[in-house]
Amino acid sequence: MTTEEPIMPSADYQSHPNTPQPVHGEHIIGSLVDLDNGFQFLLDKVKLDMQAAKDVVSFLKKRASIEEEYAKQMVKLSQSMSDTFKSYPRSSSFGNAWTSFLKVHETIGEQRQKFSSDVTEVADDLQLLIKDTEKARKQAKDAGAKQEKVLMDGEATLEKTKQKYDLCSEEWERAVLQKTNDPYHTPKKGLFKSTKSQYQLNRYEEDAHNKAAQADQQYRQQIQLVNQSRREYFSSHLPELLQNLKFVGDECCMALQYQLARYAYIYERALVVDGRALDNDTGFGLRSLAERVDKDQDLMEYIKSCNGQRNSNHIRVIQRGDVPYKEYVMSTAAHQILNPNPVFGVELNTLLKRDKHEVPVVIQKCVQMVEKHGLTCIGIYRESGSSTSIQKLKAEFNRDYKSVDLENNPHATDINNVCGLLKLWFRELPSPVFPNAAYDHFIAAAKIDDERMRILGLHTVINDLPDAHYATLKYLMCHLHKVCGQHEQNKMTSSNLAAIFGMTLIGDAGSRMADTHLHVRVIQTVLDHYRLIFEQD
């Protein structure tokens, strides 16, 4: 077994081929600049990285403490057993082997003591990293606060300038009105006041005009200064602040990654050294020492009994095969921030305008999967899939519906999960495929007892549906019509499917539960007479 000392990772370093590809720093900085609280988000991320480093430090210190105690106890045990073994005849093969056996354990204890010291050194280096990162983060935070204060001070000055401008303008306006003898602005005469002469009014108006002009100039200049400060802040200062703060975070993450790799190297090296003590070419390894003993029958029986006791203990079996990648499923709120194009819970008309697909891609992929693998499955669409798998499939479609491959998706191996996903998509529509606005028309058509007239009524109402609703409904009904065609194998007739999809596709629109059978009747009629109701291409 060989070990290699780790090197400090660079920005493009990848420790495993499955590690996600790095995102370019410029793209990250640009995204953060566009966010309202991008600088605060990055501050929080650096703080989170520091907390991760603190957790690692806590682990390493406890691990070092455990190893130190283990080493002390190992040395103490070896020396104690060596002292109590003096009464045994050393000339025997077992006596010689046992003395060397204890010496090997004493050596292992000393090696573990060194391992404990090395782990403590890694923890101390990480402690310094946390301290430096915290200091750099504070400096970046203060620099950001300073730049924000410049903007806030400028805007406060602008507000004061605006108030002064408004006051001066109002004063000028009053002077103009008084000058022209506006009856609504004639100054009141008091006991010690007299009406101003025209000359005084002219002077008063001229002074007010000059003050208003000066205030206007100051207001315009302050607006230019504030706008210039904003442009400089968002085009220069903020990107620079974000770049510096990102550098702090990157340094913390890379150093943490390096120290973890360093710990792994130290751990592997300690195991190698222990392995050499256990078995080596000098003949003083534990295995070689054990082979020197001339075992008698009693010893053989004792070893067998000990081995039997060990085998009877419950030992966790390590599973074969590769460990699967388990993707972290973000919350719906986070997905909506990261992905502006979700496909669940979006109006059909909105999807049509946005994605340019008459039938949403998620429906097409689910239907294609069911028609390929599930048409003959007994109870198709009746059986419930795994809620966890369905939610994970939903998250994948909301994240990037174009890249989802159900054929090779571990959550889609059970066709019931795909069926559950399809039904979930229709349930989460803000407006059902059968729109609420047309609800009364569908119910009225369902109440017609004459089958021919009922078909004609449904045909008329369906043809009046919006394009997105019509195309999606036609696509789904075509699929369910195919499912009905295999009812001898899958046991799913049109009435079974109508009972499942009735409330999902039509919704309740505030109706009573008494309308449920009418929902089922609408769906069953459409399925039974699919080719008559829909215009064939």
Residue 469 has a pLDDT of: 95
395: confidence class by pLDDT, cuts 50, 70, 90: very high
- Rounded Cα–Cα distance for residues 105 and 111 (Å): 10
Query: Which residue has better confidence, 444 or 317?
Result: 444
Helix 238-278 and helix 93-179: axis angle, to 10°? 170
**13 contacts: CB under 8 Å, gap ≥ 6:** 254, 257
Tokens of 30: 């640009």
pLDDT, tens only, 410-420: 999 999 999 99
CA distance linking residue 476 with residue 481, whole number of Å: 8
**Across residues 432-438, what is the average pLDDT?**
90
CB atoms within 10 A of CB 503: 17
Give the pLDDT confidence of 224-270 residue by residue, as tens digits.
877 877 777 777 777 777 888 888 888 889 999 999 999 999 889 88
SS (H, E, C) 360-384: CHHHHHHHHHHHHHCCCCCCCCCCC
3-state secondary structure 387-416: HHHHHHHHHHHHHHHHHCCHHHCHHHCCHH
For residue 298, what pLDDT is reported?
37
Residue 77 is predicted with a pLDDT of 87
pLDDT of the residue at 16: 45
pLDDT of residue 231: 79
Between 199 and 10, residue with greater pLDDT: 199
Higher pLDDT, residue 503 or 449: 449
pLDDT in tens, 328-377: 766 655 655 665 689 999 999 999 999 999 999 999 999 999 999 999 99
Quickly name the fold that domain 25-150+237-311 has.
Substrate Binding Domain Of Dnak; Chain:A; Domain 2 (1.20.1270)
| In contact, 423 and 504? CB cutoff 8 Å | yes
For the stretch 97-106, pLDDT in tens is 777 788 888 8
More confident residue, 301 or 243: 243
Contacts of 134 (CB under 8 A, 6+ apart): 50
Which one is the CATH code of 343-533: 1.10.555.10, 3.90.79.10, 3.40.50.10860, 3.40.50.720? 1.10.555.10
pLDDT at 66: 92
> How confident is the model at residue 318, as a pLDDT?
62
| pLDDT for 89 beyond 60 | no
**Taking Cα atoms as reference points, which of 240, 261, 224, 233 lies closest to residue 5?**
261
For 329, the enclosing helix (H) or strand (E) is none
Question: For residue range 4-56, what is the model confidence (pLDDT) as tens digits?
Answer: 666 665 544 444 444 444 555 677 777 776 777 777 888 888 889 889 999 99
d(CA 67, CA 112): 6
Please, are residues 402 and 361 in contact by the beta-carbon 8 Å criterion? yes
pLDDT of residue 379 exceeding 50, the answer is yes
Give the pLDDT band of residue 184 (cuts 50, 70, 90): low
The answer to whether the beta carbons of residues 400 and 339 sit under 8 Å apart is: yes
pLDDT of residue 476: 95
Residue 18: the pLDDT is 47
Average pLDDT for the chain = 81
Inform me whether the pLDDT recorded for 196 exceeds 50.
Answer: yes
pLDDT of residue 349: 93
Residue 527: the pLDDT is 93
Q: Give residue 1's pLDDT.
A: 46
Tell me what pLDDT residue 15 has. Answer: 44
Please state, for a pLDDT cut of 90, what percent of the chain lies above it: 37
Q: How confident is the model at residue 206 (pLDDT cuts 50, 70, 90)?
A: confident
Alpha-carbon gap, residue 122 to 529, rounded angstroms: 74
**Hey, where are the domains in the chain?**
25-150+237-311, 343-533
Per-residue pLDDT, 340: 66
Angle between helices 494-506 and 467-485 (to 10 degrees): 160
- At 185 the pLDDT is 53
- Min mean pLDDT across 212-226, 254-268, 436-450 is at 212-226
**Is a pLDDT exceeding 90 seen at residue 525?**
yes
pLDDT in tens, 114-168: 989 999 999 999 999 999 988 888 888 888 878 777 778 877 887 888 888 888 8
